[in-house]
Each structure stands twice: as structure tokens, then as C-alpha cells.
């Protein structure tokens, strides 16, 4: 049994994020849980259970022989597609906040398949890069395009534009890393602008988010309410914050205080100093992920680690951007800090894979990252 990962700086950083995340869920959700469920620890206790399960996921994932993971990696994308389709089945799919993107599990637990889709895409891309000659010789481009685009179409129908954006950004980053010229990526971006325009303006709620992003004060009571309350919480934190548990934004002023906008609560209570510290921790995790990717020699492993850590990095970046009003609201949680079992368990699997690769790969001298 491989146990060296317990001393890995990446693993210790993840443990720290688990602990800080539990503290944040407790602080951000206590008042809301008390008013809604009569138990201030309702969300904290559930998150503690998810954290325990997440620790099990990391432990198990690091012990699976990587050859076995690679052998069945091709199945993750089709499985995620089936799970996305399952959200449309009555009695299985659950609509929350106008979006039909959750699956109801026993015990009142909901699972969001799009979290799996983000990780599954990294496995798909790694498989295509590793087997590109055989793959392209065996299948037509149309089938490959359908394989990739159909699940993305489901995400759009589910109103999960945030996950769609992350997968697209990861795809662009990986294509550039593995040799696609910038001019072709720019050309593809311009070609996709009509689709992007249609995806935004054909849905009134997305149009409202763009309008709120451009001018939140034009409708402060409705369209701009979330962004304004988030920025007010950030402003209230100042340099050192108002203190753990003392934030006012979470007292029903800030929507989704324990999920999408939990970092606004963190800004207010921990201040600029606390935010810099937590972002430094996130930055170190991303740095370690890229360091592992640079050192491994196997193409599949390198591609997979790059995809996984880039997915994580974009999730952090976009959530912080939303909280600061730098990007439109996307409905994306903050990794480790937001309440939610789906995100936490998939994150644990993601980092379990990276730790597995770190422990199983014979380290060699760093090589150039871009081919």
C-alpha cells in the first residue's frame, strides 16, 4: 500500500483547505440554517459527513493502480453523458432555482452530474491526445465532434453555463499547450461568437446577468442585487476583516451565502489579509499541480494532470471574479469553501488522481511544458 502521499505538500495543502472549508461553511450557513431548519449546524454536519467521504475517496483513489485507471478512462465521458441525461427523467432529476441539473439520491442528497463532466472531459482529452493516430484513423471527425459536443449541449439545456464555460476554457488551454497555433484558436473563437451570442441572449436570465455585470446599479433591487451585496461585503471586510462569525452580509442580505457567494462572507470576516492567505494556498496547490505535470514523462498522465489542475484553477478564478464583480455570475461554487457534496467528492477524486500520479511516476528532470 502506497502511503507516501501523506507527506506530500500537495496533500497537506488539500487537508488545510478541507479544514478551512468546514470553518467557512459553519460561519456562512449558521444563521440561515437556524432560520430554515431550526438547527444552526445543519449544513456544517452534512458538510462534515461529505468531508469524511471525500477523505475516503482520496485514500481509495491514490491506491488504485494507475494502469487500471487509464484502461477505463474512456468510459468516464459517456458515463457523465448518461448522468446528465438522467436529470431529465421524472422522479430522478430535480429542478432547483429554475435549473434542472441535479439527481435526487436516497437520504435527501442531491448530486450534480456536471461536476463529473468537468473531470471526465480531462480524461477524454488525455485519451484523444494519447491515441490520436489510432482514434482519428478509426473514427470520422464527425463522430469525435458528436462525442464531445453532445454532453456540452446538454449542459446548455440544463442552464449550466458555468460548467460549459469551464470545460471550454480548459479545452482551449490544453489545445494551446499541446501545439495548436494561437491564430487558429483566435479564428475558432471568432467563429464561435455567434453561438456564444445565441447562448447568452436566447435566455432572459443570462441576459439579465450580463446587464447586471455591466451596470449593477441600474437595477439594484433585482438584476444587480447579488453583485452589489457581494461587493458591499467585500468592502466591509477592509484590511483585517470584522472577525470570524461577525459578518453582516450573510444575515439574509447576501444570496447563496454558503454556496456561490461564500467567498464574499470570507472577504468580510477575514479581510484582505485573510483573502491573500487563502489565495496563496490555492495558488500553491495549482503550482504543485503544474509542477507534477512538468515532471511526468507519460503523455497521458501529463495531459490528465494539466486538464485536472486547470479545471480547478479556472473554478477558483471564476468564483473570485464573480464575488468581486469582475465577471458575470455563473452559479459556480468555490472549491473546498462552498457547501456541497457533489463538488467536494469530485474534487477529492480529482486530487486523488493527481496524487496517484505523483506517487506512481518516477520523477525525472523537468521538461518543456509546451510541445
Which of the four pLDDT bands, split at 50, 70 and 90, describes residue 146?
low
Does residue 83 have a pLDDT over 70? yes
For the chain, percent of residues with pLDDT exceeding 90:
42
Contact predicate 160/114, CB 8 Å: yes
Eight-class DSSP state of 243: -
- Locate the domains of the chain by residue range: 4-82+183-360
Out of 1-15, 33-47, 222-236, 355-369, give the one with best mean pLDDT.
33-47
Given strand 99-105, what is the order of strands in its sheet?
A: 93-96, 99-105, 109-111
Cell of 61: 483513489
Contact predicate 295/354, CB 8 Å: no
Does residue 135 have a pLDDT over 50? no
pLDDT tens by residue, 337-350: 999 888 999 999 99
Distance CA 264, CA 213 (A): 16
Which single residue is written with the C-alpha cell 463532466?
117
Residues in the chain, how many? 371
Determine which of 187-191, 271-275, 339-343, 366-370 has the lowest per-residue pLDDT on average. 366-370
Which of the four pLDDT bands, split at 50, 70 and 90, describes residue 191?
confident
pLDDT tens by residue, 268-287: 999 999 999 999 999 999 99
Distance CA 147, CA 127 (A): 13
Mean pLDDT taken over the chain: 85
Contact predicate 267/323, CB 8 Å: yes
Out of 73-82, 188-197, 201-210, 300-309, give the one with best mean pLDDT.
300-309
Distance CA 358, CA 295 (A): 9
Distance CA 192, CA 186 (A): 10
Amino acid at each position: 500500500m502506497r502511503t507516501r502521499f501523506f507527506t506530500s505538500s500537495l496533500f497537506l495543502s488539500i487537508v488545510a483547505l478541507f479544514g478551512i472549508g468546514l470553518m467557512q461553511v459553519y460561519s456562512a450557513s449558521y444563521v440561515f440554517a437556524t432560520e430554515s431548519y431550526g438547527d444552526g449546524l445543519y449544513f456544517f454536519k452534512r458538510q462534515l459527513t461529505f468531508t469524511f467521504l471525500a477523505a475516503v475517496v482520496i485514500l481509495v483513489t491514490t491506491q488504485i493502480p494507475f494502469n487500471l485507471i487509464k484502461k477505463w478512462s474512456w468510459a468516464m465521458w459517456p458515463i457523465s453523458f448518461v448522468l446528465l441525461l438522467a436529470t431529465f427523467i421524472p422522479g430522478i432529476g430535480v429542478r432547483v432555482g429554475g435549473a434542472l441539473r441535479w439527481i435526487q439520491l436516497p437520504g435527501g442528497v442531491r448530486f450534480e452530474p456536471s461536476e463529473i463532466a468537468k473531470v471526465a472531459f480531462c480524461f477524454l482529452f488525455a485519451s484523444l491526445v494519447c491515441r490520436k493516430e489510432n482514434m482519428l484513423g478509426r473514427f470520422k471527425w464527425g463522430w469525435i465532434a458528436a462525442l464531445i459536443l453532445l454532453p456540452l449541449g446538454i449542459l446548455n439545456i440544463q442552464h449550466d453555463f458555468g460548467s460549459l464555460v469551464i470545460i471550454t476554457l480548459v479545452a482551449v488551454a490544453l489545445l494551446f499547450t499541446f501545439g495548436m497555433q494561437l491564430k487558429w484558436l483566435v479564428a475558432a473563437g471568432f467563429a464561435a461568437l455567434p453561438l456564444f451570442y445565441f447562448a447568452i441572449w436566447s435566455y432572459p436570465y443570462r441576459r439579465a446577468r450580463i446587464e447586471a455585470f455591466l451596470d449593477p446599479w441600474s437595477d439594484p433591487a433585482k438584476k444587480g442585487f447579488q453583485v452589489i451585496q457581494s461587493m458591499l461585503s467585500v468592502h466591509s471586510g477592509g484590511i483585517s476583516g470584522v472577525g470570524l462569525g461577525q459578518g453582516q452580509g450573510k444575515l439574509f442580505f447576501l444570496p447563496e451565502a454558503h454556496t456561490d457567494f461564500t467567498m464574499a462572507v470570507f472577504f468580510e470576516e477575514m479581510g484582505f489579509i485573510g483573502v491573500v492567505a487563502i489565495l496563496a494556498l490555492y495558488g500553491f496547490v495549482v503550482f504543485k499541480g503544474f509542477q507534477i505535470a512538468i515532471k511526468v514523462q507519460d503523455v497521458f498522465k501529463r495531459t490528465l494532470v494539466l486538464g485536472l489542475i486547470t479545471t480547478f484553477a479556472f473554478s477558483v478564478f471564476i468564483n473570485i471574479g464573480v464575488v468581486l464583480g469582475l465577471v458575470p455570475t455563473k452559479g459556480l461554487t468555490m472549491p473546498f469553501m462552498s457547501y456541497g457534496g457533489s463538488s467536494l467528492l469530485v474534487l477529492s477524486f480529482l486530487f486523488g488522481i493527481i496524487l496517484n500520479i505523483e506517487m506512481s511516476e518516477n520523477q525525472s528532470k523537468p521538461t518543456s511544458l509546451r510541445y
